[in-house]
Amino acid sequence: MTKISDVAKLAGVSTATVSRILSNPSWGKPETRENVLAAVKELRYKPNALARQLRTQETHTVIVITPNLSNDLFHKIIHSIEQEAAAHGYHVLVADAEGQPSVEEYYLNAIQQRQVDGIISISASAARHLLEKIADHYPLVLVVQSYEECNIPSVKIDNRAASEAITKHLIRIGHRKIAHITSSSDLLLYQERLSGYEKALRDGGIPVDPDLIYRGKGSMDGGFEQMNALLASGKKFDAVTCAGDTIAIGAIAALKARGIRVPQECAVTGFDDIEIAPYFDPPLTTIRQPAEQMGQIAFLKLFSMIKKEKKYDSPTYLPYELVIRKSCGHLL
Amino acid sequence: MTKISDVAKLAGVSTATVSRILSNPSWGKPETRENVLAAVKELRYKPNALARQLRTQETHTVIVITPNLSNDLFHKIIHSIEQEAAAHGYHVLVADAEGQPSVEEYYLNAIQQRQVDGIISISASAARHLLEKIADHYPLVLVVQSYEECNIPSVKIDNRAASEAITKHLIRIGHRKIAHITSSSDLLLYQERLSGYEKALRDGGIPVDPDLIYRGKGSMDGGFEQMNALLASGKKFDAVTCAGDTIAIGAIAALKARGIRVPQECAVTGFDDIEIAPYFDPPLTTIRQPAEQMGQIAFLKLFSMIKKEKKYDSPTYLPYELVIRKSCGHLL
DNA sequence: TTGTATGCGTTATCAT
DNA sequence: ATGATAACGCATACAA
């Protein structure tokens, strides 16, 4: 591998000169610059990033921890983080925590080993005190979800309010027996969505019936299974709010498989507005999260922490959007 | 940051001893080991990965280049790569090439700067000679697609044969006017699928009609738009093979929007068998690729190259599966 | 079994 | 404007 000393030798200067010319566009006298740049070109020299990082103590890399790679919302966010990071000369390392025994360990290893300058965690699932401890020592930003009254910088929508809004929409157009299908994972965000669902019911004078709340996998398979369980229970219901679009899709498929028409016989709503939401049959009524903005703001927050501009920061709440399509039946 | 010399001091030994005890489970006499390990624990010492990598010249990290993060097949493969990599003590860096101006640059930078030990490229789009040059110098494995008669190690299915098989199925059950909607990207894999479609037609004695072949975005939006264009053309057709499930979903949505029943009035097939394929209405007839196996084999190939066990390797062709559901209409 | 000393490829400090 | 050299934190060849 060609290194800086090779370039220096060819150009007839010291390594220090090469280094400075490469990192400072206005350094050295023109003649020297030319020589060095020519040598760099001829030898196809590329600085060894490892050595540079060891020396400068910064990697210009941030890590994004995602609970899984297959969530449309998540990779919209990731993509946006990447865009913003690139604009600031940073690289993004994507860590897929799915199936990872201990996510927390993953966090700590990478940053403690100085391989990254900061962490963005998409819907962190680690215990609160642990996250706070990490945030105490290293730049950390939470996206999509975070603990309440917690001073770790975060960007998210108000999941509770959004869930309340979509449930209230169902009530407004006449539904009374509304079920809720959610993920059995203990992500706070699902708790918040459940809580918003419950609040909407109470506000509407409808008692919350635990027998109408189902928990399972947060995937299409999960939605399918939970809906079948709900149907098998014999309980009556005329609408279902799902804690995610994938769950809603599975649930609708289960309904259709029994010949139950959506939304005529049962309205269904989702959450997240994933790519397929408008193309599904029926198109999904759902909540749209401002994925792009979330990613961008998350990176910018992290960036300012890395640059030591600020350590803590109040959480940023972004506006969500209630997207009404056909699956809730309001158009009929 | 606590470093190895801190541990050495606390344990009353040299840094060399600490280093050796940490990297060799059976080194040193028990007493020394205990002392050192205790010191490590007390100081919460974590080796600086950068320094170690600089010293050993290996990062134990591989980079996976993906054309985009939003493809279900791709992240199944990525996830499988991660599993296998973890089993070998390797980390995976996921590089999203979407919107990247020059993917090739990405490849080269990361590896030339010694930040990774090898590259896995999912459906590489770089020019053939460039890929061969990279493969000549660094460990590189191609997944999902590769050039023909090219000795860069690769793992894929025979896209042409698979596309031919699904088209022939359509012909077998009575379709004659079969259109094809594909991506306008120049990925070889789309060319192969198109070529398989054409071969099936010719073998079936059906002339290939260029007016029935549409190219656009490889997304749901793209499928929707191309199908509308096809419908607007006034051309008659009774079936459409799509080069991807997402395209198929958009296409079916466009058909339904015009009140055309699928598959009764027009059969549609996809490719890849993504998560929603069985849940869509109608469920998609498609080609399933062995994503898990592909990822696993890809990593293992790369691993043996990194370990210098072998440089080149013949391409591995894995079996695909024709998954027949309702969208092609055979069941009716 | 363990310690000493060197080098991995940079960048930054201090001279000149 | 530029050169000599130390230091980043670790692993290893060589000594002891």
Let me know: does A320 contact A109? Beta carbons within 8 Å: no
**Amino acid A94: pLDDT:** 86
A54–B54: do the CB atoms touch at under 8 Å? yes
pLDDT for residue B191 is more than 70: yes
**Amino acid B331: pLDDT:** 61
CA distance A210 to A196: 15
Touching check for B292 and chain A: CB below 8 Å?
no
B116-153 per-position pLDDT tens digit:
999 999 988 777 888 888 888 899 999 998 888 888 99
Listed residue (A137, A134, A163) closest to A65, CA to CA: A134
Dihedral-angle region of residue A329 (phi above 0 means left; psi in -120 to 50 means alpha; beta otherwise): left
pTM of the full predicted structure? 0.92
pLDDT for residue B332 is more than 60: no
Residue with tokens 């440089």, as numbered in its chain: B311
User: What is the pLDDT averaged over residues B164-172?
Assistant: 97
Least confident of B69-73, B283-287, B328-332: B328-332
A220–B98: do the CB atoms touch at under 8 Å? no
Span CA (A84) to C1' (D2), Å: 37
Write the residue in B78, B83, B253 that is nearest to A69 by C-beta: B78
Residue A322: φ, ψ to 5° = -85, 115
A58-76 per-position pLDDT tens digit:
999 999 998 888 888 998 9
Which residues in chain A have their CB less than 8 angstroms from residue B225's CB? none
**Amino acid B101: pLDDT:** 64
Question: Which H/E stretch holds residue A287?
Answer: strand A286-288
User: What is residue B233's three-state secondary structure?
Assistant: helix
Cα-based angle B244, A95, A219 (whole degrees, multiple of 5): 50
Q: How many CB atoms lie within 10 A of CB B159?
A: 25
CATH fold of the domain at B159-288: Rossmann fold (3.40.50)
**Amino acid B116: pLDDT:** 93
**Amino acid A75: pLDDT:** 86
Let me know: does B287 contact B321? Beta carbons within 8 Å: yes
What is the DSSP track for B284-308? Answer: PBEEE--HHHHHHHHHHHHHHHHTT
The alpha carbon of B60 is separated from its chain's Cα centroid by a whole number of angstroms, namely 21
CA distance B51 to A113: 9
Residue B278: φ, ψ to 5° = -75, -20
Binned average pLDDT, 10 residues per bin, chain A of 332 residues: 95 96 91 96 95 95 88 91 93 82 78 93 84 90 88 94 98 96 91 97 97 96 98 96 97 97 96 95 97 97 89 88 93 55
Per-residue CA distances from A310 to A92, A124, B187 (Å): 21, 21, 45
CA distance B79 to A289: 25
Listed residue (B230, B169, B236, B234) closest to B197, CA to CA: B169
**Amino acid A331: pLDDT:** 61
Write the residue in A49, A54, A93 that is nearest to B113 by C-beta: A49
CATH number of B59-157+290-318: 3.40.50.2300
Domain range annotation of chain B = 4-47, 59-157+290-318, 159-288
Let me know: does A40 contact A22? Beta carbons within 8 Å: yes
Span CA (A322) to C1' (C7), Å: 61
Is the bond preceding B278 in cis, omega lying within 30 degrees of 0? no
Question: Which H/E stretch holds residue B251?
Answer: helix B245-257
Judge if the beta carbon of A106 is closer than 7 A to nucleic acid strand C. no
Listed residue (B219, B276, B247) closest to A249, CA to CA: B276
**Amino acid A276: pLDDT:** 95
**Amino acid A147: pLDDT:** 85
pLDDT for residue B105 is more than 80: no
Is the bond preceding A30 in cis, omega lying within 30 degrees of 0? no
DSSP B272: B
**Amino acid B302: pLDDT:** 96
